[in-house]
Amino acid sequence: MTLTMGDSPVETHLFVNGEARPATGNRRYALHNPARPEELVGHAAAGSPEDVDAAVRAAHAGYPSWAALSYAERADHLTRIADALTADAEDLAARARLFCREHGKILKECQLEMARLGDRFRLTASYADRLATDEHLTGPPFDTIITRQPRGVAALIVPWNWPLSILGAKLPQALMAGNTVVVKPSSNSALAPTLTLHLMARLLPPGVINVVTGAASEIGDALVTHPLVRFVNFTGSDTVGRHIMAQAARNLTPVTLELGGNDAAIICADAHLDADAFQRMYLGAFMSTGQICMALKRLYVHRSRYDEVVEGLSAACDRAVVGDGLLDETRVGPLNNAKQLETVTGLIEEARSKGADLRELGHVPDPDLYATGYFQKPVLALDPDPTLKLVTEEQFGPALPILPFETEDEAIAKANDSRFGLCSSVWTEDRDRATTLARRLEAGYTYLNAHGPTAQDSRGPFGGVKQSGLGRNLGYEGIIQFQSSHSISGPACWLFPN
Ligand code: NAD
């Protein structure tokens, strides 16, 4: 296994049955730096269906002894992993830098994701006592214990945009619930996530964590339809989510789908709007160059505050330095890949060609780099035609439409007029208005006076309604999704001996 760190190209392997190993036939593929597409960052193993089969069989073999551990024992393993993730400061810094170079996101965010992964392992471990408590029902008609069983081998499929935080929303939960796993990182951000997974997998018995990388077109269906896979937890686009659900149906394998969103924020007439509020709004929309499922993607503003919001947000966007994420000054890195850049610029160009009033903002210190990397400055679309794709589709990039409204009923109707329903936010100074409007929004999560990952409580179940997905990650619910309930009825003296 070659794990050269620093800025030399790295090579990552699969992880199967306690060992790192190359893909069958030594196949691999290259990953380049989206800020400098000519720069090779490394190679990841290009797994095959045979590699998937080996990984699933290893997970199946490792399952009985892992499932037999108590919750307290599994919690100890999770805590050891959390400690190990940050124990070697040099290794941590090298992985964060590698992550930045393969992904494009700014270094500070790479560090934040790494910290969040460890935090989520610790949080999941803290549920041990609650998980160990069965529900007891006394008769008549019967005496019953309701307990839960792990499902078996879980396939965990991760997107490229927030790969480590998202791993933290499914991996510790799957393990804590007693499952063994096969993780498939995205081919667009495979290196740092795979190295991090190897670090964790080495701390556990063989077969508990297995990792396959490679082209989804080659290994995706093999994983999802494998007869020994008992649960699929997928995070990604709604297009691929539909495909996963159809494939999983072949074996009636249950799925959790965390899909895209087109999050609306409602800025009420009484919202407290100062520089801090505009910075929170800016981060909600443009953090990670807008490539966040729970990013603010449609901003509805009461007409009386519209000009103020446009100017406040324009000022925040204009302070953004757009460039290489490794540089301290950078606030907006490149899009992760050429296809994503094309999607976002396509939405912007369509809006421009149909006469939308667009503001392209931010500061570009290195125009040559900007011209060759996958960059797009923050764009605000002022009161655009609401039927534009920039408004109706998930942009997943640094472009935000701002639309005025007259009444709160109108704002709610517009916010809910979407096939998506992931997150949303309400901005007001009035407590009752905040909670009343929040309850009317069709979404899995609603923030008050903030939006996005900086305001998210990892103890709260996270997921979407409508075409934003099925099921929930995170919190207690995020653990028990990886289990089935199991009722046992019998004589009370057997079931409740004390
Ligand atoms: P994507 O759907 O293209 O890919 C997601 C993952 O699925 C990747 O690992 C990919 O390789 C894999 N995949 C693709 N085809 C597959 C197949 N046939 N079988 C099995 N796996 C397959 O998404 P992406 O471009 O990586 O991520 C961006 C999307 O993810 C956006 O729509 C975003 O909103 C969504 N997302 C949602 C959440 C959430 O929690 N709701 C979080 C992050 C991202």
Please write the tens of the pLDDT for every residue from 249-274.
Answer: 999 999 999 999 999 999 999 999 99
Which position has the higher pLDDT, 497 or 171? 171
Nearest partner of 301 among 222, 379, 233, 400, judged by Cα: 400
For the segment 441-482, what is each residue's pLDDT rounded down to a tens digit?
999 999 999 999 999 999 999 999 999 999 999 999 999 999
Taking CA atoms only, the protein residue closest to ligand 1 atom 10 is 186
Residue 351: give the domain boundaries. Answer: 263-459
Q: Is residue 494 part of a domain?
A: no
Residue 412 lies in a domain: yes
Residue at 273 is within a domain:
yes
Q: How many CB atoms lie within 10 A of CB 402?
A: 23
* 96 and 234 housed in the same domain: yes
331 in helix, strand or coil? coil
pLDDT value at 1 more than 80: no
Same domain, 75 and 219: yes
Distance of alpha carbon 288 from alpha carbon 304, whole angstroms? 30
Task: Work out the mean pLDDT of the chain and round it to a whole number.
Answer: 97
User: For residue 185, how far is its CA from the centre of ligand 1 (angstroms)?
Assistant: 10
Q: What is the pTM of this model?
A: 0.97
Ligand 1 lined by 221 (C-beta under 6 Å): yes
Please indicate, yes or no, whether residues 201 and 275 belong to a single structural domain of this protein. no
Task: For strands 423-427 and 263-267, give the pairing.
Answer: parallel
* Distance between Cα 233 and ligand 1 center (Å): 11
One DSSP character per residue, 458-486 reads: TTS-B--SGGGEES-BSHHHHHHTTEEEE
Binding site membership of 159 for ligand 1 (Cβ less than 6 Å): yes
| Residues 254, 318 share a domain | no
Q: Do both 328 and 220 map to the same domain?
A: no
Q: What is the CATH number of the domain that holds 242?
A: 3.40.605.10
How far apart are alpha carbons 234 and 54 in whole angstroms?
Answer: 20
Ligand 1 neighbourhood includes 194 CB (under 6 angstroms)? no
The answer to whether residue 495 is domain-embedded is: no
Decide whether any atom of ligand 1 lies within 6 Å of the 243 Cβ: yes
Question: Which residue CA neighbors atom 13 of ligand 1 most closely?
Answer: 216
The whole-number pLDDT of residue 497 equals 77
pLDDT given at position 496:
83
Taking CA atoms only, the protein residue closest to ligand 1 atom 15 is 216
Strand-pair category, 229-235 with 153-157: parallel
Q: Determine the pLDDT at residue 4.
A: 37
pLDDT band (50, 70, 90) for residue 493: confident
Domain count within the chain? 2
Residues 196 and 287 in one domain: no
Decide if 365 is inside a domain: yes
Pairing of strands 379-382, 357-360: antiparallel
- 107 in a domain, yes or no? yes
My answer on whether 188 and 160 are in the same domain is yes
Q: What is the pLDDT of residues 367-379, one digit of tens each?
A: 999 999 999 999 9
Same domain, 244 and 313: no
Query: Separation of 239 CA from ligand 1 center, angstroms?
Result: 9
What is d(CA 366, CA 381) in angstroms, rounded to the nearest whole number? 25
Residues 377 and 403 in one domain: yes
pLDDT (tens digit per residue) in 145-169: 999 999 999 999 999 999 999 999 9
Instruction: Give pLDDT tens digits for 218-228.
Output: 999 999 999 99
Residue 385 and residue 314 share a domain: yes
User: Would residue 92 count as lying in a domain?
Assistant: yes
Residue 209 Cβ inside 6 Å of ligand 1? The answer reads no
The answer to whether position 464 is within a domain reads: no
pLDDT band at 29 (very low <50, low <70, confident <90, very high): very high
Q: What is the mean pLDDT of residues 348-364?
A: 98
pLDDT at 428 over 50: yes
Would you state the pLDDT for residue 492?
A: 87
- Is residue 239 located within the same domain as residue 333? no
Instruction: Give the domain CATH number at 292.
Output: 3.40.309.10
Let me know whether 200 and 273 are in one domain: no
Q: pLDDT at position 7, please?
A: 83
Average pLDDT over residues 60-82: 98
